[in-house]
Amino acid sequence: MLSDSPKIGIISQARMTSTRLPGKVLLPVAGQPLLHYHVARLRESGLPIYLAITNNSTDDALAEFAVHAQLPCTRGDEQDVLGRYYQCAEENQLDIIVRVTSDCPLLDGQLIAQGVQEYLRHQDSRLYLSNVLERTFPRGFDFEIFSRELLSEAYHQAVLPSDREHVTPSIHQNRLGNVHFQHVTRSPNRSQYRLTVDTADDFRLLKLLIENHNAAALTSDEIIALLDQHPELVALNAHIEQKTA
């Protein structure tokens, strides 16, 4: 059972050493780094935001961004992303964690807020709610919501390197046991669209959407409608295969 007034926070993981597009989260679009749009969109949720970055000196630029954006920042081992989330949740006494990744500059803060309200309605600390297991949203609108209770269990029980790197597998695969699930879905299914930045072609699409189509001011539904109307935009990164966990 959750407390009557749980502390909720969005934790976004970030690093500069992406293998396919190094430094991607700070690439400039319309005079601002991609991370600026990511944070601005998340702020529309009304929830506090925390950055979880690595101890690498290459991430000092992300720490500086956090200072200027007035974001709390947790630093930890590059490979142990789960450890960074656990440390951030413990340091800030978060009861409920919203997990997002910083390579998604057009995340919809209002959609996340709706997901949090649905999560709270269940009053269940064993609940995992997301729009990623039953994927109907474009990749790039992803969020996961779970309790610090589940995060703590995942942290203390993790043995596989992939559990440490990808944070939630032991939760969403129910290897912890007694995890309950809720799925945020939409109709029609638009999971074929890709709005995350992992390659140069991904970046090209996001840059066009933000600079030419004002996508940073649109809701997720409006962005999806825009892609429906512009198949030539969708084609820019349709060939990219998502890296698997």
The answer to the question of residue 206 being in a domain is no
pLDDT tens readout for residues 75-99: 999 999 999 999 999 999 999 999 9
pLDDT-based confidence at residue 242 (cuts at 50, 70, 90): confident
Which domain CATH number covers 174? 3.90.550.10
pTM of the model: 0.96
Number of domains in the chain: 1
pLDDT-based confidence at residue 159 (cuts at 50, 70, 90): confident
The answer to the question of residue 226 being in a domain is no
How far apart are alpha carbons 208 and 238 in whole angstroms?
Answer: 15
Whole-number average pLDDT of the chain: 96
Sheet architecture: strand order including 180-183: 73-76, 49-54, 8-13, 96-101, 144-147, 127-130, 180-183
For residue 4, the model assigns a pLDDT of: 75
For residue 245, the model assigns a pLDDT of: 57
pLDDT tens readout for residues 179-225: 999 999 999 999 999 999 999 999 999 999 999 999 999 999 999 99
Q: Please tell me the total number of residues recorded for the chain in this structure.
A: 245
Domain that residue 65 falls in:
8-191
Cβ-proximal residues to 214 (8 Å cutoff; 6+ apart), any chain: none
- Is residue 87 a contact partner of residue 197, using CB atoms and an 8 Å limit? no
For residue 19, the model assigns a pLDDT of: 85
The answer to the question of residue 213 being in a domain is no
Q: Which of 204, 212, 210 is nearest to 234 (CA)?
A: 204
The answer to the question of residue 231 being in a domain is no
The answer to the question of residue 94 being in a domain is yes
Q: Which of 142, 229, 238 is nearest to 186 (CA)?
A: 142
